[in-house]
Amino acid sequence: MWKTTPFVAVLLLAGLQTIEPEIYESARLDGASALRQLFTITVPLLAPASVVAAAFRTLDALRLFDLPYVMTGGGPGTATEPLSLYAFVALMERLRFGYGSALSIAVFTLTFLVALAFVRSLGRTSRMEES
């Protein structure tokens, strides 16, 4: 978690900086409280940046290999063995080339489908923002 938190913070900061200050000024002049501004201005306009940050974090989690391999080797037993490490073990240590290759393709397909879902979600949030 701590490895990618700064990146997510930078993405959210960039999203916050794209919100025009005039929007907050208009809301303040209309009598909106800070809490109302948060939920009616900040959160909806921060949605695209949040979707991008969630997409990166989810895809990083799906492709996680290096930390469990270096720190625990997938153990004890297989308790910390993500799918990509499981594919590596099947392919390189157990020499089950067909099975390991199929697992690698499954990891790729799953990652692709999740990325596609996030891209479509981002398209929906952008269209809602334009309306």
The 10s digit of each residue's pLDDT in 115-130 is 999 889 887 766 666 6
13 and 46 Cβ atoms separated by less than 8 Å: no
Domains of the chain: 5-130 (1.10.3720.10)
Instruction: Identify the pLDDT of residue 17.
Output: 96
CA separation for the pair 95, 98 (Å, rounded): 9
Helices 47-62 and 5-17: angle between axes, nearest 10 degrees: 160
- CB-based contacts of 115: which residues, under 8 Å, 6+ apart? 55, 59
User: pLDDT per residue over 36-82, tens digit each?
Assistant: 999 999 999 999 899 899 999 988 888 888 888 888 887 788 888 88
20 — pLDDT class (breaks 50, 70, 90): very high
